[in-house]
């Protein structure tokens, strides 16, 4: 077998070692343009978990690598001059040069032919090799030459960074955040060998421009950094080594292999250095590829396909974590400005969602206890409720106040249409649906989208609040919740707008009724599903008056029924949302155009509702913080929307996204809407609820402790498990009071297996 590696970085060298061990007779040649000791940068970092994989792949390199390690457990976070310490993280650093030398030596020992100072320019010479590794790093010429096959995407991120070193030994993996007249600087520092540390400096494009530093002027960079961080490195020296300012490229490829060629390491994917995983990814690629080739040495294209299929999901998962981590460092100013240092630290540690409140508790119980105490103290101040300090409750079991409504914990059951009402009147199904979740421990249960008039309904099965009998039916539910649980109950008031007059969900979502359709209206006469949906009429001022008055009547009835909070549905493309999004509002009058104009009618409704809704009771609004579509509402505009709502006395924003237009392109995933709640909360300065794929108590605690939202809203998790909050309490060893008829449960231990 003949194998060529274009590139002698970690990916190319390590694969060559593993392949030579598996196929001692194979002819393996590594082409490397640099000299053996000619490396950029300083140190690389691995987690303990990564090292276990390496031990199994090749004991010799593992031994040599671990022999050169600087190991540490602590992370220090320096925020506004204060150092927070967290332990139990298990990392090792080593010199990149030493690591390459270990790999080069092992190649030589096994008989791999490594040709240094040999730059590959012509790819045609590799036609008769059985396997060609494109291990040629970020600027891979193989990837570019066969771009049509590999489909590369390169996203250059806006932040600037430079890889420096220092002869100061950081005692822990250290993040420093420091402000000067040019802006906020982030340092990622870690020891990699006795007497030396890596010192990566990062900042926004604006800070970089203000600093006057030049991309290639290494001496000026060193002088600047030396002065700014002199105290942090106790007067030690800042060192350079081709230390040019760069922008991080996130690289991904549609396909990883082509004929006898395969992309590896940085050539095919990158992961931001803030999760320290580039070298790990490159070397794990080598392990996976070697395994695939060992299994099918006679069919290399099949081996390459198997390699990609097995490896891609793991890489993509790390890339997702790396992206959220990178975004944290792009938005650090927000956390720096708005969060207390202790909370910023927690936000930093949990940024990539790989570390949660629970696993941080295992690593460093003291740190989490400090956070929990701090959080409980804040909650006690905010709510006016006494909270036992020792031990503090988990963040999810702290109270939260909105006006006179005090919630016992931070869990909310999301509004969920049941499509089971008759003429808008709800029934026993709704009583059990809502009542069981209230008994199940959520602090706030929300009714489904409840429509303010007959023609405001989405479907004939939707709940309403526009007739006397509706008030009585809701009163029964509210009374049950208040008399049998500590939960508060809110009603989501809505008008379906252009999404109205459609079938029940299980008969065809958004499909018009086969018969009995009613006329619909919206901000503009645009159908939701082109060629399928009814075309709504563009609302006249008279229509607006009527809808506003319907909301007011419903709010009055909601008070009569005893609800604790109203939520105005301004999301998901329904009537109020249709005014907000420029994709659904194409009006030429004072209700269309600028955001101020588009918000005019929703704000008018809010004002009118606020006037009749008792002062001591809060109002929420659910918004779509992005339309997930070109030209629509985006995260930045959602902050403005939130500011306007806040200025009109809104108490909290329930941050959802999308469902504005049928051609949206949402990006789903765990907590996928939480970044929007986080941003609105901090930038608009209004409490937020986060909803969307929040399903574990670990996530709830992490979101709250990191200050990413004030309340966590769960929909499907509650459908599946009405007692979700009680289960979460049990798992955390926290006691929730039972209703009297269930008192015998105090001495009961549940078993699920």
Ligand X SMILES: Cc1cc2nc3c(=O)[nH]c(=O)nc-3n(C[C@H](O)[C@H](O)[C@H](O)COP(=O)(O)O)c2cc1C
Ligand Y SMILES: Cc1cc2nc3c(=O)[nH]c(=O)nc-3n(C[C@H](O)[C@H](O)[C@H](O)COP(=O)(O)OP(=O)(O)OC[C@H]3O[C@@H](n4cnc5c(N)ncnc54)[C@H](O)[C@@H]3O)c2cc1C
Q: Which stretch binds ligand X (CB under 6 A): 202-210, 244-252, 623-631, 713-721?
A: 713-721
Interaction between residue 45 and ligand Y (CB under 6 A): yes
Closest separation in Å from C-beta 10 to ligand Y? 4
Dihedral, CA atoms, 635, 641, 642, 648, nearest 10 degrees?
A: 180
- Compute the least distance from the CB of residue 339 to ligand X, in Å: 25
Place of tokens 């914990």: 409
- Do the beta carbons of residue 247 and residue 160 sit within 8 Å? yes
Q: Which residue's CB is nearer to ligand Y, number 266 or number 364?
A: 266
> What is the C-alpha to C-alpha distance for residues 729 and 634, in angstroms, rounded to an integer?
36
Q: In the bound complex, what is the minimum distance in angstroms from residue 185's beta carbon to ligand Y?
A: 15
Return the residue of 119, 167, 206, 316 that touches ligand Y, per CB under 6 A. Answer: 119
Of residues 488 and 499, the one with the C-beta less far from ligand X: 499
Least Cβ distance, residue 47 to ligand Y (angstroms): 10
- What are the Cα distances from residue 614, in Å, to 9, 458, 493, 557, 635? 68, 28, 16, 12, 32
Closest-CA residue to 97 (of 68, 73, 126): 68
Residue 622's binding partner among ligand Y, ligand X, none (Cβ under 5 to 8 angstroms by kind) is ligand X
Q: In whole angstroms, what is the distance from residue 676 CA to residue 667 CA?
A: 13
Of 73, 61, 76, 49, the residue nearest 15 (C-alpha): 61
Binding flag, residue 58, ligand X (CB under 6 A): no
Q: Using DSSP, how many helices (H) and how many strands (E) does the chain show?
A: 25, 30
Distance CA 458, CA 472 (A): 22
Please, are residues 274 and 322 in contact by the beta-carbon 8 Å criterion?
A: yes
Judged by beta carbon, residue 160 or residue 495, the one nearer ligand X is 495
Nearest Cα neighbor of 604 from 572, 580, 573, 634 is 580
21 backbone dihedrals φ, ψ, rounded to 5°:
-65, -40
Residues 6+ apart with CB under 8 A from 196: 42, 43, 95, 165, 166, 167, 169, 239
**Distance (Å, whole) CA 434 – CA 668:** 27
The answer to whether the beta carbons of residues 650 and 621 sit under 8 Å apart is yes
First to last CA, the chain: 52
Q: Which residues contact 317 (CB under 8 A, 6 or more apart)?
A: none
Q: Does 196 bind ligand Y (CB under 6 A)?
A: no
Q: Which does 274 bind (CB under 5 to 8 A by kind): ligand X, ligand Y, none?
A: none
Element (H, E) at 166: strand 152-166
Among 714, 723, 726, 732, contact with ligand X (rule: CB under 6 A): 714
User: Which residues pair with residue 714 across a beta bridge?
Assistant: 413
Q: How many residues bind ligand Y (CB under 6 A)?
A: 31
277 part of the interface to ligand Y, by CB under 6 A: yes
Instruction: Check if 574 is active-site.
Output: yes
Pick the binder of ligand Y from 135, 288, 438, 449 (CB under 6 A): 135
Q: Which position among 16, 197, 656, 696 is part of the footprint of ligand X (CB under 6 A)? A: 656
User: Least distance (Å) from ligand X to the CB of residue 384?
Assistant: 29
Cβ 720 to ligand X, closest distance in Å?
A: 9
Give the C-alpha separation, 53 to 468, whole Å.
Answer: 67
Nearer Cβ to ligand Y (136/372): 136
Q: How far is the CB of 354 from ligand Y (least distance, A)?
A: 15
Sole window of 132-140, 429-437, 441-449, 688-696 interacting with ligand Y (rule: CB under 6 A): 132-140
Residue pair 504/496 in contact (Cβ under 8 Å)? The answer is: no
Which residue, 45 or 445, is less far from ligand Y as judged by CB?
A: 45
| Structure-block tokens of residue 599 | 């918000």
* Residue 751, both tokens: 């078993």
Nearer to ligand Y (CB atom), residue 34 or residue 475: 34
Of 574, 591, 697, 723, which one is the catalytic site residue? 574
Residue 202 sits in the site that holds ligand Y (CB under 6 A): no
- Least Å from the CB of residue 321 to ligand Y: 14
Residue spans of alpha helices (H) in 296-397: 300-330, 332-338, 341-349, 357-363, 365-383
Q: Given candidates 200, 303, 523, 677, which one binds ligand Y under the rule CB under 6 A?
A: 200
Of the pair 242, 295, the CB lying nearest ligand Y is at: 242
**Is residue 163 near ligand Y by the rule CB under 6 A?**
yes
| 449 scored as a contact of ligand X (CB under 6 A) | yes
Between CA 500 and CA 371 the distance in angstroms is 46
Question: Which of residues 693, 721, 727, 736 is near ligand X by CB under 6 A?
Answer: 693
691 belongs to the binding site for ligand X (CB under 6 A): yes
Contacts of 545 by beta carbon, 8 Å cutoff, 6+ apart: none
What does the DSSP 8-state code read for residue 741? Answer: G
Q: Is 716 in the site for ligand X (CB under 6 A)?
A: yes
Kindly write out the interface string for residues 610-649 of this chain, putting x where it contacts ligand X by CB under 6 A and - elsewhere: ------------x---------------------------
- Applying CB under 6 A, does 416 fall inside the site for ligand X? yes
Q: Which is nearer to ligand X, 315 or 691 (CB)?
A: 691
**1, 27, 34, 556: residue in contact with ligand Y (rule CB under 6 A):** 34
- In the bound state with ligand X, the residue whose beta carbon lies nearer, of 228 and 571, is 571
- Reading the block at residue 296, the tokens are 């099918």
Select from 107, 417, 496, 520 the one that contacts ligand X (CB under 6 A).
417
Q: Which active-site residues does the annotation give?
A: 574
User: Where do contacts with ligand Y occur on this chain (CB under 6 A)?
Assistant: 6-12, 31-34, 44-45, 119-120, 135-137, 141, 163, 200, 265-267, 273, 276-280, 282
User: Where do contacts with ligand X occur on this chain (CB under 6 A)?
Assistant: 414-417, 448-449, 492, 569, 571-572, 622, 656, 691-694, 714-717
């Amino acid at each position: 077998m003949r194998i060529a590696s274009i590139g002698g970085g970690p990916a190319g060298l390590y694969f060559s070692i593993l392949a030579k061990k598996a196929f001692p007779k194979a002819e393996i040649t590594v082409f490397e343009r640099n000299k053996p000791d000619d490396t950029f940068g300083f140190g690389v970092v691995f987690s303990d978990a990564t090292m276990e994989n390496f031990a199994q792949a090749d004991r010799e390199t593992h031994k040599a690598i671990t022999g050169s390690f600087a190991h540490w457990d602590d992370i220090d976070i320096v925020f506004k001059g204060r150092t927070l310490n967290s332990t139990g993280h298990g990392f090792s650093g080593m010199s990149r040069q030493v690591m390459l030398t270990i790999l080069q030596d092992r190649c030589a020992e096994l008989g791999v032919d490594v040709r240094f100072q040999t730059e590959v320019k012509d790819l045609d010479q590799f036609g008769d090799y059985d396997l060609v590794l494109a291990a040629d790093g970020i600027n891979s010429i193989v990837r570019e030459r066969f771009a049509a096959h590999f489909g590369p995407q390169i996203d250059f991120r806006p932040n600037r960074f430079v890889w420096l070193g220092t002869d100061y030994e950081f005692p822990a993996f250290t993040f420093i955040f420091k402000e000067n007249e040019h802006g906020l600087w982030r340092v990622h520092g870690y020891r990699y060998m006795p007497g030396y540390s890596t010192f990566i400096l990062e900042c926004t494009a604006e800070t970089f421009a203000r600093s006057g530093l030049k991309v290639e002027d290494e001496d000026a960079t060193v002088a600047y950094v030396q002065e700014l961080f002199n105290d942090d490195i106790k007067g030690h020296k800042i060192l350079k080594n081709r230390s040019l300012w760069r922008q991080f490229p996130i690289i991904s490829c549609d396909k990883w292999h082509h004929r006898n060629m395969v992309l590896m390491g940085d050539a095919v994917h990158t992961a931001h250095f803030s999760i320290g995983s580039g070298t790990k990814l490159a070397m794990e690629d080598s392990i996976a590829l070697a395994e695939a080739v060992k299994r099918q040495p006679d069919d290399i294209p099949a081996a390459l396909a198997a390699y990609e299929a097995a490896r891609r999901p793991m890489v993509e998962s790390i890339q997702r974590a790396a992206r959220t981590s990178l975004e944290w460092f792009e938005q650090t100013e927000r956390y720096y400005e708005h969060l207390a240092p202790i909370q910023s630290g927690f936000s930093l540690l949990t940024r990539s969602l790989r570390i949660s409140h629970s696993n941080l508790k295992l690593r460093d119980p003291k740190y989490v206890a400090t956070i929990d105490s701090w959080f409980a103290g804040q909650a006690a101040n905010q709510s006016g409720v006494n909270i036992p300090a020792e031990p503090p409750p988990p963040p999810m079991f702290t109270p939260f106040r909105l006006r006179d409504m005090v919630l016992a914990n931070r869990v909310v059951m999301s509004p969920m249409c049941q499509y089971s009402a008759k003429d808008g009147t709800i029934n026993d199904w709704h009583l059990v649906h809502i009542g069981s979740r209230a008994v199940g421990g959520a602090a706030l249960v929300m009714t489904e989208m409840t429509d303010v008039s007959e023609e405001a309904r989405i479907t004939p099965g939707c709940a309403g609040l526009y007739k006397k009998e509706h008030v009585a039916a809701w009163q029964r539910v509210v009374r049950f919740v208040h008399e049998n649980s500590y939960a508060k109950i809110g009603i989501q008031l809505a008008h379906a707008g252009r999404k109205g007059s459609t079938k029940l969900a299980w008969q065809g979502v958004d499909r018009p009724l086969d018969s009995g359709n009613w006329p619909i209206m919206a901000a503009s006469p645009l159908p939701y599903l082109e060629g399928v949906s009814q075309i709504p009429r563009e609302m006249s001022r008279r229509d607006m008056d009527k809808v506003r008055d319907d909301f007011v009547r419903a709010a009055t009835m909601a008070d009569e029924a005893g609800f604790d909070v109203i939520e105005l549905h301004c999301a998901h493309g329904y009537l109020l949302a249709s005014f907000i999004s420029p994709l659904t509002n194409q009006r030429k009058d004072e209700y269309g155009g600028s955001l101020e104009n588009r918000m005019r009618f929703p704000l008018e409704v809010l004002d009118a509702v606020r006037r009749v809704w008792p002062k001591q009771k809060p109002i929420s609004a659910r918004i779509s913080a992005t339309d997930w579509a070109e030209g629509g509402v985006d995260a930045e505009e959602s902050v403005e929307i939130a500011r306007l709502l806040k200025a009109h006395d809104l108490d909290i924003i329930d941050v959802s996204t999308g469902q504005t237009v049928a051609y949206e392109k949402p990006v789903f995933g765990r907590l996928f809407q939480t970044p929007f709640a986080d941003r609105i909360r901090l930038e608009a300065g209004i409490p937020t609820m986060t909803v969307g794929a929040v399903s574990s108590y670990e996530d709830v605690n992490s979101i709250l402790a990191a200050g990413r939202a004030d309340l966590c809203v769960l929909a499907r998790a509650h459908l599946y498990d009405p007692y979700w909050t009680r289960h979460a309490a049990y798992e955390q060893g926290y006691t929730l009071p039972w209703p009297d008829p269930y008192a015998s449960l105090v001495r009961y231990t549940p078993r699920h297996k």
